[in-house]
Amino acid sequence: MPLNFGKMMSRNRSSGTVPTIHEDHEGGTHHTEHSLAEHHGKAALPFFASPVDPEALKWLERRKRASSGVARSGTVAQFESESKETESGLAHRIFRKQHEASTLELFFDLFFVGNMAVFTTKSAHVDLQSLSNYVGFFAFLWTTWFHISMFDVRFYVDSVWTRFTKFLAFGAMTALTGLGPMYDVILKKDGTMSRAFQGMAIMFFCLRMLFVLEYSMVLYYVRRFDKTLVPLLLTVFVYVITGFGFLATWLQNRSMAAMSGPEGAAKVRIWYIIIGLEACAIIIISSIWRILSFKHTHLVERVGLLTLIVMGEGILGLTKSTSYAASGTNVILWEETGIVGSAVLLIYMMYILYFDNVDHHRFGTIRQQIWTLLHFPLHVAILLTVEGSTALILWNAVRSGVAYITEDSLPSLTTPATIPPHKPGAGGTFKDTAAFVDSIRLTYNEVKERYHYKKLDTYYNATAFAADLDKLSKPKAAFNTPAWVTEVQPTLKKMTAYFEYFLYQNFGAEGPKKIDDEKDYSLKVQYYEDGFKFVTIYFYIAAGALLLVLAGLYVFGRTKMTKTEWTSVAVRIFGGMALPLVTISAFTEKNDDSYRFTFSYLLIPLVAIYYLLVIIIDNVIKAISERHHRGNQLKRMSQEFDDSSYEMHKKSMHGSPELVNAGDGDDAALVPNAQKVPTVTVAGGPRYSELVDQESDTEYRGGQGAHQFRSQSLHKH
């Protein structure tokens, strides 16, 4: 029907509205009118906004009219068809769905980034206690993000109330930033007192009460939809119970001015149980009552963005460690450059392993929610893997410096009279004690010049060094005798410990807190080495756990998995179990090979190479599977073609032949042509279009390549 734009404009000019034409789903057009205020600027923000879709309200009105018996027959028929919808389809109609993250949600993620950056910077991960503190605090931070985001992806509608609740959520995240360093103190077992426990308990209680208010508001707007009442009431009940659970842990000790370490640690273990049960309860409710499921939401995008943030935290640590390693010395070794490159490759492989295997079209309703919950162990594994790699970058820089000092510059503890490889006359023997002492003095000046990020004098001042040299220059035993070796060894060992401790400090390596209280520099160095071994162990365990969790995500992120995809899962499981065994064998076996591996440059490259190998195997298996599927499709299509051609030829031979004129004139009679029969060309047989249009084949078997193959075959025929 033609549109008269002149009449439309004149009709609407007086009312201050301008019509806008939109295409509807059937290919036609319909008109919606926008006020001039909406056309030239954004409409006023409402104080409250309903998460219910306006179409759902219309559906509700049609149901009311149909039930009252005054509706037209068309309305009754429409209601009867709509009432047969499943709960997941009904949920898609009831709630407004946004298919991408809002700017307010992304702004909230910045608080998560700030929290992670602060706590990671202030926490060392070099022993079991500090590592458990780090993972524990991340659990509180992650679950806070989880509950806020799970509400937003389902019920977020921009309004004054929504922005106010987001402001309160920002405050909660900021409180976690301030309480994070104190939380690390709570779990110390030395009796340290801290108010952080009480502060965190009150904050978690208030945050749960905020969730109760938000879900109660949603419950008010959807009160006319019967199917939403039970799951929303249960969700509110869960937050009430967990909120008062946090409050109870505070009330139990409200008379205390502060909490001691062991008591705080016990209460924090209760918190872990609370947040674990709470998250599982929310997922179970949305799985049983699918009207509150995350179907048709941007949940996958939100979780993917958080995964990028966690990887970004690893990139921050990587750049910091690279900066320390580069600024700590004026000599850059190729081996250290290769280690940094391997760490970059490792993070890149994590990105590929995760994002290349997220299929938005193959999530089941329950599978998607389990897939979401599995991201907590995934993010923990990512964090520990990248944090371990950044710590090992610094360790390798320190190890290079220690090798330079102890193996190339300072005299050996076992044969101190032998000239070190870095000095003139290497391999020979010092002439006398004076030459021996001059060589050590030269090493001191070389270390000051070579490692300059921090001052050597701060850790090994000139006075103490001069006193040690004086002790070496006046031995009681004759030079280069067994008695002389025994006499100079303690001083050489002490000097080596001072140099090594300085190197750890110069490169900013992390060590346990007890290092600061230790006076013996040899023990300080031993604590650093123990921390390195611990980092290596959890780095490999986390790298293996990451592959195992990725295998779980692979399974729960797909329905109707093929043999090819199960093979990819098996490759991940094998790597997840094999990588931790590498460190276990290296640290348990006391032989030269294990020692060389533990202190080699291969610790990070080995993991990066294995991740790369998993990606290559994935793609090779997919290519072989796709080629095999194409061959099967060719055989099926060829068989269909042969069968169809035979049937059509048989029909033409036994059916009515072509009629032709019996003579030359136009008036000649029509007679059957015995020499000519009609030929029929059939491209793919009666099932060809079915083969081309099978979505399951394109989605689960052949992928995009199979789709292109079928399209090209259709075009060819």
Q: What residues are paired with 573 via a beta bridge?
A: none
Tokens of 235: 């969700």
Give per-residue pLDDT as tens, 520-552: 888 888 888 888 888 888 999 999 999 999 998
* Entry pTM: 0.76
Spatial separation of the C-alpha atoms in residues 319 and 332, rounded to whole Å: 16
102-132 exposure pattern, b = at least 16 Cβ within 10 A, e = fewer: beebeebbebbeebbeebbeebbbbbebbbe
- Average pLDDT estimate for 344-348: 93
Residue 685, sorted as left (phi over 0), alpha (psi -120 to 50) or beta, turns out to be left
Helix pair angle (299-327, 334-355), 10° resolution: 180
Higher pLDDT, 669 or 221: 221
Q: How confident is the model at residue 667 (pLDDT cuts 50, 70, 90)?
A: low
Spatial separation of the C-alpha atoms in residues 591 and 558, rounded to whole Å: 46
Q: What does residue 431 show for φ and ψ, rounded to 5 degrees?
A: -70, -45
Q: Report the range of poorest mean pLDDT among 237-246, 340-349, 643-652.
A: 643-652
Nearest to 116 by CA among 268, 313, 302, 308: 313
pLDDT above 70 (res 703): no
- Average pLDDT estimate for 304-312: 91
Q: How confident is the model at residue 72 (pLDDT cuts 50, 70, 90)?
A: very low
**Would you state the torsion angle of the CA atoms of residues 421, 426, 428, 434, taken in this order, to the nearest 10 degrees?**
-90
Give per-residue pLDDT as tens, 248-257: 887 766 544 4
Give per-residue pLDDT as tens, 552-587: 888 887 777 777 778 888 888 888 888 888 777 666
Higher pLDDT, 605 or 193: 605
Query: How confident is the model at residue 206, as a pLDDT?
Result: 93
Q: What does residue 83 show for φ and ψ, rounded to 5 degrees?
A: -70, -10
Query: How confident is the model at residue 679, as a pLDDT?
Result: 46
Q: Report the range of poorest mean pLDDT among 21-25, 41-45, 260-264, 287-291.
A: 21-25
Give per-residue pLDDT as tens, 121-157: 777 778 888 888 888 889 999 999 999 999 988 888 8
Query: How confident is the model at residue 237, as a pLDDT?
Result: 95
- Average pLDDT estimate for 294-302: 82
Query: How confident is the model at residue 75, as a pLDDT?
Result: 45
- Average pLDDT estimate for 333-339: 79
Percent of the chain with pLDDT over 70: 71
Query: How confident is the model at residue 646, as a pLDDT?
Result: 56
Nearest to 223 by CA among 56, 47, 48: 56
pLDDT above 90 (res 515): no
Q: What does residue 249 show for φ and ψ, rounded to 5 degrees?
A: -65, -25
Query: How confident is the model at residue 276, as a pLDDT?
Result: 92
Spatial separation of the C-alpha atoms in residues 397 and 337, rounded to whole Å: 10
Nearest to 175 by CA among 210, 146, 207: 207
Q: Report the range of poorest mean pLDDT among 71-85, 166-180, 198-212, 453-467.
A: 71-85
Q: What does residue 405 show for φ and ψ, rounded to 5 degrees?
A: -80, -50
Query: How confident is the model at residue 512, as a pLDDT?
Result: 79
Report in angstroms the alpha-carbon separations of 434 from 470, 474, 491: 11, 10, 16
Arithmetic mean of pLDDT over the chain: 75
Report in angstroms the alpha-carbon separations of 311 from 351, 626, 704: 8, 32, 29
Report in angstroms the alpha-carbon separations of 77 from 66, 71, 421: 9, 10, 94
Report whether 126 contacts 534 (CB < 8 A): yes
Report whether 603 contacts 592 (CB < 8 A): no
- Give Cα 123 to chain centroid, integer Å: 21
Give per-residue pLDDT as tens, 477-486: 888 888 988 9
Percent of the chain with pLDDT over 90: 15
- Give Cα 35 to chain centroid, integer Å: 44
Spatial separation of the C-alpha atoms in residues 121 and 558, rounded to whole Å: 37
Helix pair angle (128-155, 375-403), 10° resolution: 140
Q: How confident is the model at residue 1 (pLDDT cuts 50, 70, 90)?
A: very low
Query: How confident is the model at residue 80, as a pLDDT?
Result: 44
Q: Is 331 helix (H, G, I), strand (E, B) or coil?
A: coil
Higher pLDDT, 541 or 26: 541
CB atoms within 10 A of CB 142: 21
Query: How confident is the model at residue 257, as a pLDDT?
Result: 44
To 5 degrees, how large is the angle CA 69–CA 75–CA 77?
95
Contacts of 266 (CB under 8 A, 6+ apart): none
Spatial separation of the C-alpha atoms in residues 252 and 267, rounded to whole Å: 10
pLDDT above 80 (res 184): no
Q: How confident is the model at residue 234 (pLDDT cuts 50, 70, 90)?
A: very high
